[in-house]
Structure 1
Amino acid sequence: MELVPNYYQGRVALNVLAGSVDNAKDIYKAADGHVVCGVLTKNYPDNDSCIEDLKKYKAAVSNAISVGLGAGDPNQSKMVSEVSKVIQPQHVNQVFTGVGYSRAQLGQNETIINGLVSPTGKTGYVNIATGPLSSKEMTAEIPVTTAIALLKDMGGSSFKFFPMNGLSHKEEYAYIAKACADNNFSLEPTGGIDLDNFEAILDIALKAGVSMILPHVYSSIIDKATGLTRPEDVARLFEIVKKKLD
């Protein structure tokens, strides 16, 4: 099983939610393997049931799995780490304060672990108070470059900027993209990304020179009737990726 996501041209992979094992298979095929299929720990009552299910996903899509929190829920941080220890997925979503624990639980440096930071409304600064306790306090606003350095210290692989609300924080996002490029750090734009704004969001990161980009496209491409991500929409997103990189 692979431990590193299959980035198209070494730069871009998609992160989308899988509503079932069959849905994960369809998503994986639609993106020609350049994707990680998100499964949210918040949807499970305990670690054992989550692990049992994730083993099925892992086998179905060559471990192209992203262990998720669930809308950035800080209360899922510990469960994500403990489940990931067993599953050894390609990708792990974590709140800022949970990154070090996840890396220690994994026991290896290959799996991508992101660290969730939030917009502040001030270009050049992010809020790192995204953990179970810290998120209940006032925001902790620090320079973007300091946040990157801290994540590297903890064994983090990438910057998860959430919630972006599409292009509502365009200037902040562009600054972050340049900082990630300058500091050889991956970037994961997340929140409010859809088929209409995806190309613009991807373009900002590519033009900034970010080495590896993993956009999260979630609710906008989920069929409300079935709860499943639409493979045809994943295929459309992947066509945009290929157009930008080929």
Structure 2
Amino acid sequence: MSLSPNYYKDRVCLNVLANSVENAQDCYEAAEGHVVLGVLSKKYSTDEAAIEDMEKYQAATKNALSVGLGAGDPNQSQMVARISKILQPQHINQVFTGVGISRALLHQTETVINGLISPSGKVGYVNIATGPLSSEAPAGIIPIETAIKLLKDMGGSSVKYFPMNGLAHIDEFKAVAEACANDDFSLEPTGGIDLGNFEEILQIALDAGVKKVIPHVYSSIIDSNTGDTRPEDVRILFEKVKELLG
């Protein structure tokens, strides 16, 4: 599978969920290829089942696959690492403590691996205790600059900032964006992003100077009746991206 898609050249790449291979294709076309399609490992009972199904998504979208945890579930971390070793996807979602093993198993540096860190309630600080055991312990609150360096040490590509709850942590998000820009690190805002607040959140990251932003827009653009991500909403988001980038 190719690891050199359009989105590697983009400053902004969308990340949306795909409910089926057909839904993935529709969303891929709606974003003109500037998107990765999230498929959640949590919905599969075995590694083999996940690999067999996710390969179909790869084939249909030029490997624009984003291997997901499932609502940031830390208990999926090991499975994500194992199946990604075989799949070699373009994008991997990981908890903070799962980044190193994922990179080691890939045996390459091209795949984007994010590391999940959470708002702490204090500007300039984040919670990195997002792993299977650490998420059950007292919060691990450290400066965002240190968190980024740790992710880099482990072979990570970007900060997955979750849960943002839309604009609820906007001042903290601004500090995260500035730190990512200063350290030439990618940023993936996640949680509560919708058609209404998408532009403001993305604009903050762009204004800070972040070189690559991968906003995750999930439940707000999913059809509650079918479970599909609405391609027409993906198209709207991509039009907003083009407008902001001029």
TM-score by length of 2: 0.98
The equivalent residue for 1:92 is 92
The residue type paired with residue 235 of structure 2 is A
Q: Could you say which residue in structure 2 is the equivalent of 1:201? A: 201
Amino acid at match of 2:141: E
- Cα distance between partner residues in 1 of 2:180 and 2:47: 33
Instruction: State whether structure 2 residue 31 is matched by structure 1 residue 31.
Output: yes
Number of aligned positions between the proteins: 246
The 1:75–1:170 alpha-carbon spacing in structure 2 relative to 1, beyond 3 Å, is: same
Kindly report the root-mean-square deviation, in angstroms, between the aligned alpha carbons of the 2 structures.
0.9
Structure 1 residue 3: deviation in Å?
Answer: 1.7
CA distance in 1, matches of 2:8, 2:102: 26
Q: What stretches of structure 1 of length at least 5 have no aligned partner?
A: none
Q: Find the residue that maps to 1:215 and give its secondary structure.
A: coil
Q: CA deviation at 1:173?
A: 0.2
1:94 aligns to what SS in structure 2? strand
Classify 1:50/1:90 alpha carbon distance in 2 versus 1 (closer, same or farther; 3 Å): same
Q: Partner letter of residue 128 of structure 1?
A: I
**One-letter amino acid of the counterpart of residue 212, structure 2:** M
Partner of 1:71: 71
Which is further off, 235-244 or 5-14? Answer: 5-14
Q: Give the Cα–Cα distance (whole angstroms) in 2 for the partners of residues 9 and 111 of structure 1.
A: 13
Q: Secondary structure at the match of 1:167?
A: coil
Aligned residue for 2:110? Answer: 110
- Determine the structure 1 residue equivalent to 2:170: 170
Change (3 A) 1:101 1:174: same
Stretches of structure 2 lacking an aligned partner (at least 5 in a row): none
Residues 93/25 of structure 1: CA separation in 2 closer, same or farther (3 Å cut): same
What letter corresponds to residue 39 of structure 1 in structure 2?
V
1:239 alignment partner in structure 2: 239
Aligned residue type for 1:54:
M
Counterpart CA distance in 2 for 1:180 and 1:53 is: 34
Residues 213 and 4 of structure 1, relative CA distance in 2, 3 Å threshold = farther
2:151 counterpart of 1:130: no
- Map 1:140-219; keep pairs closer than 5 Å: 140-219=140-219
Q: What secondary structure, in the 3-state scheme, does the structure 2 residue paired with 1:226 have? A: coil
Identity %: 67
Q: Distance in 2 between matches of 1:5 and 1:191?
A: 25
Give the structure 1 partner of residue 229 of structure 2.
Answer: 229
The answer to whether the Cα contact below 8 Å between 1:4 and 1:112 also exists between their aligned partners in 2 is no
Tell me the distance in 2 between the aligned counterparts of 1:232 and 1:8.
Answer: 23
Answering whether residue 40 of structure 2 is matched by residue 43 of structure 1, we say no
Q: How far apart, in 1, do the equivalents of 2:163 and 2:2 lie? A: 29
* 1:119 matched residue in structure 2: 119
SS where residue 71 of structure 1 aligns?
Answer: coil
Segments of 4+ moved more than 4 angstroms: none
Deviation at 1:2, TM superposition (A): 2.6
Is the 1:39–1:68 contact (alpha carbons within 8 Å) kept by the matching residues of 2? yes
Question: Counterpart of 2:106 in structure 1: which amino acid?
Answer: L
**Contact 2:5-2:62 within 8 A present in 1 as well:** no
| Mapped contact 2:23–2:228 kept (Cα < 8 A) | yes
- The alpha-carbon deviation at position 5 of structure 1 amounts to 5.0
